Amino acid sequence: MKRSLVLALCLALTTPLAVPQEAAPLRGYSADSSRAERDWEIKFRALPDPAAMRGYMQRLSARPHHVGSPYDRDNAEWLKARFQEWGLDARIETFDVLFPTPKERLLELIEPAHFTAKLEEPSLAEDPTSSQKDEQLPTYNAYSIDGDVTAPLVYVNYGVPDDYETLDRRGISVKGAIVIARYGGSWRGIKPKVAAEHGAVGCLIYSDPGDDGYHSGEVFPAGPYRPKDGVQRGSVMDMPIYPGDPLTPGVGATKDAKRLPLDQAPTLTKIPVMPISYADAQPLLAALQGPVAPPAWRGALPITYRLGPGPAKVHLKLKFNWDLKPIYDVVTRIPGAVYPDEWIIRGNHHDAWVNGAEDPISGAIALMEEARGLAALLKQGWKPKRTIVLCLWDGEEPGLLGSTEWAETHAEELRRKAAVYINSDSNGRGFLFMEGSHTLEKFINGVARDVEDPETKLTVWKRRQFAAESSPQDGAEARTRPDLRIGALGSGSDYTAFLDHLGVASLNLGFGGEDGGGIYHSIYDDFYWYTHFSDTTFVYGRALAQTCGTAVMRLADADLLPFDFDNFTDTMRRYVADVKRLAEEKRGQIVERNRQIDEGMFAALADPREKSVLPTKEPAPPFLNFAPLDNGIAALERTAGAFDKALTHADENGGAALARAALKDVNDRLVTLERVLLLGDGLPNRAWFKHQIYAPGLYTGYGVKTLPGARESIEQKQWKQADEQIARVGKVFENAGEAIQGITSALEQAVR
Amino acid sequence: MKRSLVLALCLALTTPLAVPQEAAPLRGYSADSSRAERDWEIKFRALPDPAAMRGYMQRLSARPHHVGSPYDRDNAEWLKARFQEWGLDARIETFDVLFPTPKERLLELIEPAHFTAKLEEPSLAEDPTSSQKDEQLPTYNAYSIDGDVTAPLVYVNYGVPDDYETLDRRGISVKGAIVIARYGGSWRGIKPKVAAEHGAVGCLIYSDPGDDGYHSGEVFPAGPYRPKDGVQRGSVMDMPIYPGDPLTPGVGATKDAKRLPLDQAPTLTKIPVMPISYADAQPLLAALQGPVAPPAWRGALPITYRLGPGPAKVHLKLKFNWDLKPIYDVVTRIPGAVYPDEWIIRGNHHDAWVNGAEDPISGAIALMEEARGLAALLKQGWKPKRTIVLCLWDGEEPGLLGSTEWAETHAEELRRKAAVYINSDSNGRGFLFMEGSHTLEKFINGVARDVEDPETKLTVWKRRQFAAESSPQDGAEARTRPDLRIGALGSGSDYTAFLDHLGVASLNLGFGGEDGGGIYHSIYDDFYWYTHFSDTTFVYGRALAQTCGTAVMRLADADLLPFDFDNFTDTMRRYVADVKRLAEEKRGQIVERNRQIDEGMFAALADPREKSVLPTKEPAPPFLNFAPLDNGIAALERTAGAFDKALTHADENGGAALARAALKDVNDRLVTLERVLLLGDGLPNRAWFKHQIYAPGLYTGYGVKTLPGARESIEQKQWKQADEQIARVGKVFENAGEAIQGITSALEQAVR
């Protein structure tokens, strides 16, 4: 960043008119190629059309289009036809995946009173697609096992591990019980997993009105929030172990793939689980006795939240069809003119739980307009250096099926060719959210500086910076740091196989923050809702197409792939500091608690009228050896600086050196740099996840854990494993340093 | 504290058996007098009897006993008779005070639908006294003016000044509107005051179930929390200006006192105001449209909280009887044998809003058992050195009437004689709460170390220390500091006139933390509730009697009044640091906000679909001159140290010097030391409040503001006044330093 500014100033002094100050050469471009690129990008950004997007959404969300539905396939065919109509090479690739659908669903309160849950989202007169009952998937959680259980109920808050510690302290066990958890606090699939680990026999997950119902705003159809009968469907597959088809871990779910028997699929739940509305949850929760729930556990229902167990007794019966279903990925290739074997991949899924106007169509229609725009440029003579692959995935909702099976099927080729994967999923109104590989942080900041925010006419970067500045913690840094920090990627969308399994540098982009609502994964996520309450004029749809399209072009056209290792190193330094702090805190907490136990504090503070179980002492954790991480960071710091120097040198004199063909070797090395951050045997107990810097948390599901091996070992108090994992990450840092060193040497050679 | 420990160790080494280590001489006592005192105190603490307290509560709360009711007077006579029966000199002192009661109450929603509020708390079959309808005061706020207003409704959250800033930012004015505020966030009287300042014409205050209703636990009679029709009565007199009878500011409301005409009484509200239940509030709030309330403003009703204004339109009509009513203070004197003109005063009120079992009877019955205990000791030959005055105040609920009028009537004598005032009000179960003058911090810590906690059998001090230790902020300090910090006194009970108007060092004590409930100021605060849900066995009633009684005896019997200036100085140092930090923060916030306005941040972050008003720039505040405070603290540090040294010297050799008659001069000076912290012309715009260290906040009501002149000037951005007030507090510190110096010299002379 500093480099670019200096360069811009120098150019402004020497050739004041030739290159306007604001048009400093793009990173990885010569002065000439940068000018040309900017021209093409400006042309591109004029093309995405809100009216067209509105039309696409209306078509794609006109009927339910979940995996296995007629309209899912119909949409895929229609998408392919559009891409082909625009002159692009679009094909459909199919896989056969396990996708259970409900045969029987029953939930009843049998004690102290009788109540049968409705499990049904009513049609609304205002909302035409809400009445397509025949085609809608019932409310359920996919990959719950079959079950028929009757047991006392226990309220477990969000159902994350900490919540069970709280229950333990109150002497409440869920052994043999059915738990009821509220949505939120973790990805939904964590809830039945943790419940089963604690001995529960069933799990209900409900949407509390305190989270996305009337407490947040008017409910649908008067407002955007969840009505009382609205239910969040969703997958509960144990995706932190591996996503994709449960029967074909690690390989593509092709026709002839070797499949696990159903009863050996490790990512199905261990207990039956079902999502319910707050109308169905209220009688169950109101029937609980036992201790009053802690303040942070209380939602917005007009009841006293109590923990149980019982007297509420619940009967839950679930039966599913366990069929294989076909999925249809729509994959379009624009071949590269110079580096055809370097791929820039852009994806968004097209399948939904029901009509899915927001999730995923609001993102898919941006990708469509990107495709239409790129096709138009091709006709005008634009020739991307690299191959662009545009993907509309199927089967994301059940478990990232379409992207994972595709990535597994083409793993070998992707490992060689995939430079960057850019994902979107849903889109809304407000602020640009950027997450991804930190080697791309500087790059995506540059893109965001060239896209206009439709509401303020500032750049989307500037508006986002204001948002960061207004935060009490990050405000000062956001004002002065040249680049906005981007988030790390956990899971929850189609970048997972690319980043975590294959080591393809990835980005996930979208707008949001002004688009609250409560229709997620319900029948009300439809065209009516979206065009009344979200990005109703599709101007943020256009902004997303402009952002992702510009990113794709700028990556595809660059002389040198614009990765950066300074921001990467800066971020790794923070992660290391985080992990050290975590270890210290964990240690401090255990030592302090042991002392408090010795002093008798817990006994002294307990209210004798409330049942409580005093905590017991734990061994004080050892001090961990962080030297490998420190050495790793030192290696990164050395080599990132050298690379930057070499790049500055190559940039000089209008960056003429950057135009040379000799850069192929450098680009080849850059394509595969992120692969160095993987280790082949993966993370502890989940070998599919190979990335050593980013992973979804084993007990958060979507939420990212950075330096996951080390961090989760510490969180789980596996001290020996923590030391091992720290050493592995240190080694990965050293490997990355070596790779960067290699890139630098190659670059120096290429421009000599 | 350190001194005592050293002393204890020395004694342990030299005379290991004569004085057991745990019985180090009490502060202000010689070794002999300390031994005698401890013996008497142990005798005393054996006397308070839970069964007796239960009987007193049943009697005193048997019927409604608000000001002006037959049973209020009956209780006063009964109390006097009990004290006299025990052989004590009890008298009733009466005053005539303004006490309005409702003649007419009407609240109706007239648009968009019609709804008439019930304004009525139903009787409950389980709860015998809840049916005493003829004697119950209706639900109302005392000292609301009469009014008949019809206007659109606006929801104002807690109705504190910050809330109106939030409304301003959303372009919502309450001018001409009726506001509805929820209880909490400030003392209730602040709500109509701030509403009127912003142009509202009426004010409703409701109890949100998120605060003390079903959200916190089961509602009465199944549990202790507020049922849907429960209403919090209470005074809305503008007590931060002056408490007590509105017609007789600064003087006793005796028969012949000069009275203000009603229409000139400045502490009546400016607009009509009425408290309502959440059952009555829900239809009103549900009828509001306009922006959705910010997340922190939302309560636990099953509605979307919106701000208005309107379309809800409300009609509020209130008419009151504006009569004078008699109040009956029951005042009992135990004359001092050595220093009859040094008074230790102990008080708790006896009037209630309705039956008032918790508030105030749970505190009053502790005082009764203290009196019975002291009377028993007197019969056994105990002779307190100082005069003890035991007070059961009337008229606390409407506005601290009984204590204020008594203190104003006897102001001249109290200024000379009152050494300490010890207050209690209500009592519950759990942890000892200690607030008061910091010259008494060390003293009351010592008392708390000698009282047993009924649940844990630890001392009440130790249990409280554990609670402090478990707090994330204060934990480390609480573990190592010899004394627990005591809170500063704001207002809300009968210590106010003593401390804030007359400068009598004061303490306020009580138990709580395990006694949640929602019957405050309702008909359900009665014997049934208290004996089912609070201190049901009255063991904390006994602990309160033991704590307060021990404190009274230890003060009354001491050779030298046990004030301490080290902890006081330590606390003042913290307050000065607080005020400096506040000024810095305030300055920083304004400068930062101005910059954000210049940068365009607020415009950039605004959602164009939501109405908002951008903030405007303010002049940057000047830097304030804190030198007077620093100099004042330096003076305190010097002199507090010297006093401590002199006391250590006097303590030596078993503290024989402390027994000398020459100590009278020192004691005289100690009695009046707190008076030095007053300034005759009081605080800005409220001359009645003369204490320069402690005051209730002008805009918090109960909540304390320490160094109030300086702090509130900064909060209100009155920079010139802030500099003046800082100088005044600095002067007060210097005066206190001089006074301590004088005490030290007198002590040195006395023990030479």
> Do A52 and A370 touch, CB atoms closer than 8 A?
no
- With 0-12 / 13-18 / 19 or more C-beta atoms within 10 angstroms meaning exposed / middle / buried, residue B614 is exposed
Mean pLDDT value of segment B672-683: 97
What pLDDT is recorded for position A14?
36
Contact A304 B605 (CB under 8 A): no
Q: Find chain A residues with C-beta within 8 A of B293's C-beta.
A: none
Contact A469 B596 (CB under 8 A): yes
Minimum CA–CA partner of A301 in chain B = B302
Contact B466 A607 (CB under 8 A): no
Contact B214 A303 (CB under 8 A): yes
Nearest CB to A301: which of B302, B430, B605?
Answer: B302
Sorted by where each begins, the domain ranges of chain B are 50-97+331-455+487-557, 101-322, 566-751
State the average pLDDT for chain B.
94
Contact A463 B604 (CB under 8 A): yes
What pLDDT is recorded for position B659?
67
Minimum CA–CA partner of B289 in chain A = A218
What pLDDT is recorded for position A472?
81
Residues in Cβ contact with B428 at an 8 Å cutoff, skipping those fewer than 6 apart:
B358, B362, B510, B511, B512, B513, B514, B515, B534, B535, B540
> Do B677 and B546 touch, CB atoms closer than 8 A?
no
Distance of CA A142 to the CA centre of its chain: 19
Contact B214 A302 (CB under 8 A): yes
Contact B218 A456 (CB under 8 A): no
Q: Find chain B residues with C-beta within 8 A of A514's C-beta.
A: 607, 609
Confidence band for A16, pLDDT divided at 50, 70 and 90: very low
Mean pLDDT value of segment B171-177: 98
- With 0-12 / 13-18 / 19 or more C-beta atoms within 10 angstroms meaning exposed / middle / buried, residue B125 is exposed
Q: Find chain A residues with C-beta within 8 A of B215's C-beta.
A: 298, 304
Supply the pTM of this predicted model: 0.94
Q: Find chain A residues with C-beta within 8 A of B456's C-beta.
A: 603-604
> Do B430 and B514 touch, CB atoms closer than 8 A?
yes
Contact A596 B470 (CB under 8 A): yes
The percent of residues above 90 in pLDDT, for chain B, comes to 91
Closest by CA to B746, choosing from B652, B674, B642, B653, is B642
Confidence band for B14, pLDDT divided at 50, 70 and 90: very low
Minimum CA–CA partner of A278 in chain B = B302
pLDDT value at A502 more than 90:
yes
Q: Is A599 on the interface with B (CB under 8 A)?
A: yes
In Å, what is the CA distance from A156 to each residue of A107, A141, A738, B373?
A: 18, 18, 48, 50
Q: Which two tokens stand for residue B392?
A: 């059961």
What pLDDT is recorded for position B20?
42
Contact A209 B298 (CB under 8 A): no
Minimum mean pLDDT range among A147-156, B74-83, B133-142, B740-749: B740-749
The dihedral built from the CA positions of residue A625, A629, A630 and A632, taken in this order, carries a sign that is positive
What is the distance between the terminal CA atoms of chain B, rounded to a whole angstrom?
24
Q: What is the pLDDT of residues A427-462, one digit of tens each?
A: 999 999 999 999 999 999 999 999 999 999 999 999
Confidence band for A356, pLDDT divided at 50, 70 and 90: very high
Shortest Cα distance, chain B CAs vs residue A98, angstroms: 41
Q: Is B464 on the interface with A (CB under 8 A)?
A: no
State the average pLDDT for chain A.
94
Mean pLDDT value of segment A188-213: 97
Q: Find chain B residues with C-beta within 8 A of A209's C-beta.
A: 302
Q: What is the pLDDT of residues A660-710, one digit of tens each?
A: 767 899 999 999 999 999 999 999 999 999 999 999 999 988 889 999 999
Nearest CB to A605: which of B216, B467, B607?
Answer: B467
Q: Find chain B residues with C-beta within 8 A of A302's C-beta.
A: 209, 214, 300-302
Contact A214 B302 (CB under 8 A): yes
Minimum CA–CA partner of B453 in chain A = A604
Contact A304 B214 (CB under 8 A): yes
Contact B604 A462 (CB under 8 A): yes
Contact A292 B514 (CB under 8 A): no
Q: How many helices (H) and strands (E) does chain A have?
A: 24, 18
Q: How high is the ipTM of this complex?
A: 0.92
Q: How far apart are CA B592 and CA A106, in angstroms?
A: 57
Q: Is B455 on the interface with A (CB under 8 A)?
A: yes
Mean pLDDT value of segment B196-222: 97
Confidence band for A403, pLDDT divided at 50, 70 and 90: very high
B50-97+331-455+487-557 belongs to which CATH class? alpha beta
Q: Is B608 on the interface with A (CB under 8 A)?
A: yes
Q: Is B585 on the interface with A (CB under 8 A)?
A: no
Which position has the higher pLDDT, B3 or B23? Answer: B23
What is the distance between the terminal CA atoms of chain A, rounded to a whole angstrom?
24
Shortest Cα distance, chain B CAs vs residue A429, angstroms: 9
Contact A216 B292 (CB under 8 A): yes
Per the listing, tokens 């005093």 go with A614
Q: Is B292 on the interface with A (CB under 8 A)?
A: yes
Q: How far apart are CA A187 and CA A91, in angstroms?
A: 33
Q: What is the pLDDT of residues A707-734, one digit of tens each?
A: 999 999 999 999 999 999 999 999 999 9
Mean pLDDT value of segment B8-31: 57
Q: Is A585 on the interface with B (CB under 8 A)?
A: no
Q: B319: part of which helix (H) or strand (E)?
A: strand B313-321
Q: Find chain B residues with C-beta within 8 A of A604's C-beta.
A: 456, 458, 462-463, 466
Confidence band for B648, pLDDT divided at 50, 70 and 90: confident
> Do B479 and B173 touch, CB atoms closer than 8 A?
no
What pLDDT is recorded for position B661?
65
Q: A669: part of which helix (H) or strand (E)?
A: helix A663-671
Q: What is the pLDDT of residues A548-565, one digit of tens each?
A: 999 999 999 999 999 999
Mean pLDDT value of segment A617-623: 95
Q: Scan residues 506-525 of B and list those with Cβ closer than 8 Å to A.
A: 514
Q: Is A13 on the interface with B (CB under 8 A)?
A: no
Minimum CA–CA partner of A217 in chain B = B304
- With 0-12 / 13-18 / 19 or more C-beta atoms within 10 angstroms meaning exposed / middle / buried, residue A201 is buried
Q: Find chain A residues with C-beta within 8 A of B615's C-beta.
A: none
Q: Which fold has domain A47-98+325-453+488-557?
A: Aminopeptidase (3.40.630)
Nearest CB to A458: which of B305, B456, B604?
Answer: B604
What pLDDT is recorded for position B12?
35
Per the listing, tokens 């929602």 go with B518
Contact A300 B302 (CB under 8 A): yes
Mean pLDDT value of segment B413-423: 98
Q: Which fold has domain A101-322?
A: Glucose Oxidase; domain 1 (3.50.30)
Q: How far apart are CA A655 and CA A26, in angstroms?
A: 10
Contact A601 B470 (CB under 8 A): yes
What pLDDT is recorded for position B441?
98
Residue of A466, A480, A531, A536 best to disrupt the B interface, most CBs of B under 10 A: A466
B566-751 belongs to which CATH class? mainly alpha
What pLDDT is recorded for position A47?
98
Q: Is A298 on the interface with B (CB under 8 A)?
A: yes
How many CB pairs below 8 Å do chains A and B form together?
84
Q: Find chain B residues with C-beta within 8 A of A225's C-beta.
A: 304
